[in-house]
């Protein structure tokens, strides 16, 4: 595996690959877990060359969020990426991605970025789409890989790719969970043992909603009330949002008549966790 820190080195390395080789790209913020590794494995299986980026993107963090505290361990990440079969690991400094005086952003407007995580993090997706667009421009992959856990992010990036006519195929991979059901996240490391135990209610409440839906319940309010009620049994849980939206567009719905996304964001102490499930 080749480790590259600068854009000039990256350009040389990509030229050496040759235009006849397909490139699969996995953008990450590091502190890799099995969810990230599943994306790398998928990229390897579908492409000639696999590029992984590790970049904790400052523009998607608002003041007071956990940018400085976000977990980082590059030595560990590089070992995991290499073992997973990564060909090129791009690990730039912020000044490489955002040169001095940079003031250009790529923003997806509309309701898709205002609801769910966009309610409490109104500048978040502007930072996400800007950095992803920069990385797409630099690497020019044939395919890019994202996890379903970040469902709203996936929907926003899909819209950006479509609206800007980017020649990239997006592949969305299933959520990878711990044995007890907790969705894997780099932020799980911040949870105390009791917070982690109570956080299991996220996957449990979503699974219960799926069972209720499969039994014939299609009313969104009823399903949301069930999720909220179950999460609220945990004294450490502070709900940011619980919502059920159209899976493709994230439009508001009252009754499920097509695939829908049930999504939650809940704080346990200082740690904000997200999870979701598809109701079909």
- Give CA separation, 205 vs 17, 29, 119, 267, 275, in Å: 46, 28, 22, 15, 10
pTM for this model (two decimals):
0.96
The pLDDT of 201-229, averaged and rounded, is 98
Over the range 230-267, which residues count as b (16 or more CB within 10 Å of their CB) and which as e? bbeebebbeebbbbbbbbeebeebeebeeebbbbbbbb
Tens digits of per-residue pLDDT, 162-213?
999 999 999 999 999 999 999 999 999 999 999 999 999 999 999 999 999 9
Tens digits of per-residue pLDDT, 64-110?
999 999 999 999 999 999 999 999 999 999 999 999 999 999 999 99
Residue 231 · residue 248 · CB < 8 Å: no
Tens digits of per-residue pLDDT, 105-147?
999 999 999 999 999 999 999 999 999 999 999 999 999 999 9
pLDDT band at residue 237 using 50, 70 and 90 as cut-offs: very high
Q: Residue written as tokens 């505290």? A: 69
Q: Which residues are catalytic?
A: 36
Helices assigned H by DSSP within the chain? 7-17, 34-46, 74-83, 94-97, 117-120, 124-139, 151-163, 193-199, 201-214, 220-231
Q: Does pLDDT of 19 surpass 90?
A: no
3-state secondary structure of 208: helix
In degrees and rounded to multiples of 5, residue 166 shows phi and psi of -75, 135
Q: Residue written as tokens 């135990």? A: 197
């Amino acid at each position: 595996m080749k480790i590259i820190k600068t854009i000039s080195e990256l350009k040389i390395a990509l030229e050496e690959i040759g235009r006849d080789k397909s490139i699969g790209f996995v953008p990450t913020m590091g502190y890799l877990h099995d969810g990230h590794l599943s994306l790398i494995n998928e990229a390897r299986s579908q492409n000639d060359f696999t590029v992984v980026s590790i970049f904790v993107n400052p523009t998607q963090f608002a003041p007071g969020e956990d940018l400085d505290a976000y977990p980082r361990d590059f030595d560990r990440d590089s070992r995991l990426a290499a073992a997973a079969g990564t060909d090129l690991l791009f690990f730039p400094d912020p000044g490489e991605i955002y040169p001095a005086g940079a003031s250009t952003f790529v923003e997806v407007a509309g309701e898709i970025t205002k609801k769910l995580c966009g309610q409490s993090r109104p500048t978040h997706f502007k930072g996400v789409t800007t950095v992803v667009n920069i990385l797409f421009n630099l690497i020019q992959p044939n395919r890019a890989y994202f996890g379903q856990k970040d469902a709203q992010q996936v929907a926003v990036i899909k819209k950006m790719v479509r609206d800007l006519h980017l020649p990239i195929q997006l592949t969305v991979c299933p959520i990878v969970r711990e044995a007890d059901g907790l969705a894997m996240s780099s932020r799980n490391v911040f949870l105390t043992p009791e917070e982690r135990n109570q956080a299991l209610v996220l996957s449990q409440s979503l699974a219960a909603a799926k069972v209720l839906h499969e039994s014939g319940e299609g009313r969104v309010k009823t399903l949301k009330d069930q999720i909220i009620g179950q999460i609220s049994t945990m004294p450490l849980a502070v709900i940011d949002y619980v919502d059920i939206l159209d899976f493709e567009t994230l439009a508001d719905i009252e009754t499920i008549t097509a695939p829908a996304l049930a999504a939650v964001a809940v704080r346990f102490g200082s740690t904000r966790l997200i999870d979701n499930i598809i109701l079909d």
